[in-house]
């Protein structure tokens, strides 16, 4: 664990930034999903205790060990680049770039001051150019963004602005451009992060914005219907929150109404394929009885091994027909009822309506006997899948949870790391980079947890079929 002479001042500076953020939030502003005005206030209190030296012991499973902690910034979200071993992390007061050549000991190499809320899903993209590879991060403005290097639109205060940050030189990240959207930019995601020319926004109850990034100096929203006045958004039944794209040319849009799958092989003409139907809206077939699979929103998703999809096959990771989903219920403080991590069976992708059905779900209270927050947030949040079949999930005050989805009909606990003073928003497996520093399809046994209180935690995990080590990776393409 790294400790430096500047540690306490850095923590206090972060606390002051959070306090400033709290003041901005108190002044008002649209919230994309629920009223999160208390986020910054709560973070201020927890960070102050942490900065003051309050130590709450780690409760961890034997297979999960803390390797390092970087408390300098209150973390919200992060992303890895494809052609350079870099991790870009967004916080309440800045954007930070880490060199992860040594994944157990990431090195902070660049910082961009930027007061932003909430940007809970920063997205990395790349583009080949005549002069080399252009690398950048997309920031979705949810409530506000305060930065000196860019002229913001009035839409930024209403959660309808996309910001492009150039990280080609990781030591000097810079705000490159911005664009107004007609729908919520609570999250924004590249359709193809290897060649990011289009991005989709979270959107609203019935629509979303398609952003053209061909000219990164002047991104703009694509008009879905030129026959109507103004820029028209594209339709989606999901009730927008997050887009997740797979290698098979499909995308899942999660939101208030569950999950919807689109064919995005032609990204400017997305085509709805199927949805989670009534079950994804939280109801049994009678339309009245609640099924517990959506008490607020489907938050984010991932379909492992999507290229191997087999229609009507039994649900398995190998068949590419299992959809992993976080169901967030942010304000439910009963950890036996708060948002769950779920598996769904994708039966068909041929236009058959409601062809995605639930398999299993777990709340954090189902995963072990470790201490749980009392009256605190413990919903499932952002997650990342490892080809071994182990998923790392941030559960806010419920810490970092590792779940085994090798049998998608029976989700099992695999490991955990829980701190008393902690709020884990995201957890990611560090990807494997080859000798040319290009990201492969493999992932290491190193997990990064982005914590609003603790900053960045680095864990090593003993995974099934894998020898424990600082950066070992499973064989290419392994899906048990």
What per-residue confidence (pLDDT) applies to 56? 65
Per-residue pLDDT, 38: 59
Q: What mean pLDDT do residues 165-186 have?
A: 97
Does residue 47 carry a pLDDT above 70? no
Residue 73 domain-assigned (yes or no): yes
On whether residue 152 sits in a domain, the answer given is: yes
Residue 40 lies in a domain: yes
Query: Who's near 349: CB < 8 A, 6+ residues apart?
Result: 250, 261, 263, 273, 274, 309, 311, 355
Which domain CATH number covers 147? Answer: 2.130.10.10
d(CA 381, CA 302): 13
What dihedral angle (degrees, nearest 10) is formed by the CA atoms of 30, 36, 38, 42? Answer: -140
CB atoms within 10 A of CB 326: 26
User: Is the pLDDT assigned to residue 242 strictly greater than 90?
Assistant: yes
Asked if the structure places residue 130 within a domain, the reply is yes
- Please name which of 175, 39, 44 lies closest in space to residue 118, comparing C-alpha atoms: 39
Give the number of domains in the chain: 1
pLDDT of residue 373: 80
Q: How confident is the model at residue 4 (pLDDT cuts 50, 70, 90)?
A: very low
Please check whether residue 184 is in contact with residue 176, taking contact to mean a CB–CB distance below 8 angstroms. no
DSSP letter (8 states) at residue 157: G
Q: Which of 56-65, 165-174, 400-409 is predicted least confidently? A: 56-65
Q: Is residue 474 part of a domain?
A: no
Q: What is the pLDDT of residue 153?
A: 56
Q: Say what the pLDDT of residue 465 is.
A: 84
- Please answer whether residues 183 and 233 qualify as being in contact, where contact means their C-beta atoms are separated by less than 8 angstroms: yes
In this prediction the pTM is 0.88
Residue 460 in this model has a pLDDT that exceeds 60: yes
**What per-residue confidence (pLDDT) applies to 250?**
99
Phi, psi of 42 (to 5 degrees): -65, -40
- Domain hosting 225: range is 7-461
Rounded to whole angstroms, how far apart are CA atoms 57 and 50? 12
**51 domain residue, yes or no:** yes
Domain assignment of residue 218, yes or no: yes
What is the three-class DSSP state of 129? strand
Q: How confident is the model at residue 155 (pLDDT cuts 50, 70, 90)?
A: low
Question: For residue 201, what is the enclosing H or E element?
Answer: strand 198-201
pLDDT band, residue 331 (cuts 50/70/90) = confident
Q: Are 384 and 390 in contact (CB under 8 A)?
A: no
Q: Is residue 353 part of a domain?
A: yes
Reported as type and span, the H/E element at residue 79 is: strand 75-80
pLDDT at 346: 99
In angstroms, rounded to a whole number, what is the distance separating the alpha carbons of residues 423 and 90? 15
């Amino acid at each position: 664990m790294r400790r430096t002479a500047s540690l306490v001042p850095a923590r206090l500076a972060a606390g002051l930034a959070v306090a400033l953020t709290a003041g901005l939030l108190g002044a008002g502003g649209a919230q994309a999903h629920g009223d999160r005005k208390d986020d910054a206030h709560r973070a201020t209190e927890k960070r102050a205790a942490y900065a003051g030296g309050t130590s709450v012991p780690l409760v961890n499973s034997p297979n999960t060990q803390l390797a390092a902690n970087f408390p300098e910034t209150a973390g919200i979200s992060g992303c890895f680049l494809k052609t350079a071993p870099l991790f870009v992390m967004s916080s309440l007061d800045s954007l930070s770039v880490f060199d992860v050549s040594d994944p157990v000991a990431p090195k902070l190499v660049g910082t961009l001051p930027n007061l932003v809320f909430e940007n809970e899903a920063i997205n990395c993209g790349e583009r080949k150019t005549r002069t080399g590879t252009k690398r950048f991060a997309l920031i979705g403005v949810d409530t506000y963004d305060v930065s000196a290097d860019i002229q913001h639109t009035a839409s930024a205060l209403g959660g309808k602005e996309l910001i492009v940050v150039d990280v080609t030189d990781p030591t000097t990240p810079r705000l490159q451009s911005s664009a107004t959207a007609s729908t919520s930019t609570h999250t924004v995601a590249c359709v193809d992060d290897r060649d990011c020319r289009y991005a989709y926004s979270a959107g609203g109850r019935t629509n979303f914005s398609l952003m053209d990034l061909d000219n990164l100096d002047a991104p703009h929203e694509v008009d879905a219907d030129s026959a109507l006045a103004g820029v028209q958004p594209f339709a989606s039944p999901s009730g927008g929150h997050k887009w997740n794209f797979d290698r098979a040319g499909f995308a899942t849009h999660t939101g208030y109404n569950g999950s919807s799958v689109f064919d995005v092989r032609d990204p400017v003409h997305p085509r709805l394929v199927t949805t989670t139907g009534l079950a994804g809206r939280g109801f049994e077939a009678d339309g009245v009885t609640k099924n517990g699979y959506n008490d607020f929103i489907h938050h984010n998703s991932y379909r492992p091994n999507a290229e191997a999809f087999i229609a009507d096959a039994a649900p398995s990771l190998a068949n590419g027909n299992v959809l992993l989903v976080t169901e967030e219920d942010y304000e439910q403080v009963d950890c036996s009822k708060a948002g769950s991590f779920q598996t769904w069976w994708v039966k068909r992708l041929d236009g058959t309506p409601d062809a995605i059905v639930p398999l299993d779900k777990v709340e954090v209270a189902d995963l072990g006997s470790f201490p749980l927050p009392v009256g605190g947030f413990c919903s499932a949040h952002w997650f990342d899948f490892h080809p071994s079949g182990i998923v790392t999930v941030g559960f806010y005050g419920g810490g970092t949870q590792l779940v085994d989805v090798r049998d998608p009909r029976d989700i099992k606990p695999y490991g955990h790391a829980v701190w008393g003073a902690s709020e884990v928003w995201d957890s990611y497996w560090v990807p494997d980079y080859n000798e040319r520093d290009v990201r492969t399809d493999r992932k290491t046994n190193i997990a990064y947890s982005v914590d609003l209180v603790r900053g960045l935690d680095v864990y090593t995990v003993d995974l099934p079929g894998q020898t424990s080590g600082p950066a070992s990776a499973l064989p290419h393409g392994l899906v048990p």
